[in-house]
Amino acid sequence: MFLFMNRLLLALSATLIMVSCQKELSFEVGTPASGSLQNSAGECNPKNVAGNFIAGTALTDSNFLEVTIDVTVPGTYNISTDTVNGYYFRGQGSFANAGVATVKLNAAGTPLSAGVNDFFVIFDSSFCSVSVTVLPAGSTPPPTGSQVYFPMTANSWWSYDQGGTDTIKVSVGGTKTLASNTYRNFITADEFGNSDTSFYRYNASNNSYYQYIDASAVSGLQITFSQPFLDILFMKENLASNATWNSDHNGTAGGFPVTLRFKFNVLNNNASITVNGKNYTNVYRIQMTPQLGTAGVFSDMATPSELFYAKGIGLVKFTDGTDSENIRFYQVN
């Protein structure tokens, strides 16, 4: 708490100096803009961290921070964060109109060590914090979208219909460290304004993808897991058709040891499929079956689901035999 306040005061002091300079030069560079990083409820507007941050590696144009500002008075802006762990973010420009605007703050410097770094962004009289995860030196970042079936590049997005008029949009945001692993945030929003965040990571050593799920989220199964989270191995790339793998998670139910298993089968490693009138080729068609095992004997818990991943695009269709999600539009960076 004390470190938080100390850094906030330092950041505020730096901003006051910067604002003073802007006021002295206002007649030369224009009127400073006014607005807020927060909404009317006092909550921070959406923000996004882009790029891979690796200890000891200098930051480039692919590393930046995007913040959302509610502009009330158009004009010039010059926004920078405090310097943490050897790097910072900065952006300048002008707002031509009032309203909601997205500002890009480019990163500069070199992260000194791995870990989670918290920055303060200040605009006008408002401020918000943002966390950036720095990977250990020598880390291999996730492969780019054009090479894989499950792109995780920042600012990529996909929209789907759900077998009718309902639609959802999935966007790749920043990163989060959970249980010593770094995950990408995938934000799902529906047409009613509801949103939820899922967490995915890539492991280069076995060319696999994992989803983090808090064990409390599956409390309805009435299983007490041996870990407080499930790290589900949901994708293994470059497998042949008919290849299989399992993601097992041990626990107890009614005092007896049980295993929750997600069983995966590659039905076709090079399929074609038409979704919403568009044909997709080089599709990885995977079947997933949830199972429950006791004493080494497993039984299906639900009807198998099928997932269709197009290379360079991502998930284009999901179906469990009753409901489905079908891709409509997408952007992979």
Q: In angstroms, rounded to a whole number, what is the distance separating the alpha carbons of residues 37 and 208?
A: 37
On the question of pLDDT at 22 being above 50, the answer is no
Residues 182-217 have pLDDT tens digits of 899 999 998 888 889 999 999 887 889 999 999 888
Three-point CA angle 295, 296, 302, nearest 5°: 105
Mean of the per-residue pLDDT values for the chain?
Answer: 85
Whether the per-residue pLDDT at 2 is higher than 70: the answer is no
Distance of alpha carbon 104 from alpha carbon 149, whole angstroms? 28
User: Which is higher by pLDDT, 46 or 232?
Assistant: 232
List the domains of the chain with CATH numbers.
2-134 (2.60.40), 145-331 (no CATH)
How many other C-beta atoms are found inside a 10 Å radius of the C-beta of residue 246? Answer: 14
pTM value surpassing 0.75: no
| Closest of 285, 268, 311 to residue 144, by C-alpha | 311
The residue among 83, 90, 71 whose CA lies nearest residue 111 is 83
pLDDT-based confidence at residue 9 (cuts at 50, 70, 90):
very low
The two tokens of residue 37 are 């990083």
User: What DSSP letter does each residue of 95-106 carry, written as one string?
Assistant: ESSSEEEEEEEE
pLDDT tens digits for range 30-50:
689 999 998 887 878 767 777
DSSP codes, 125-155: TEEEEEEEEEBPTT--PPPPGGG-SS---TT
Burial 17-44 (b: 16+ CB within 10 A, else e): eeeeebeeeeeeeeebbbbbbbeeeeeb
Residue 116 to residue 132: CA distance in whole angstroms: 6
What's the confidence (pLDDT) of residue 163? 67
Closest CA to 171 of 294, 66, 242: 66
Residue 141 predicted with pLDDT over 70: no
pLDDT at 284: 96
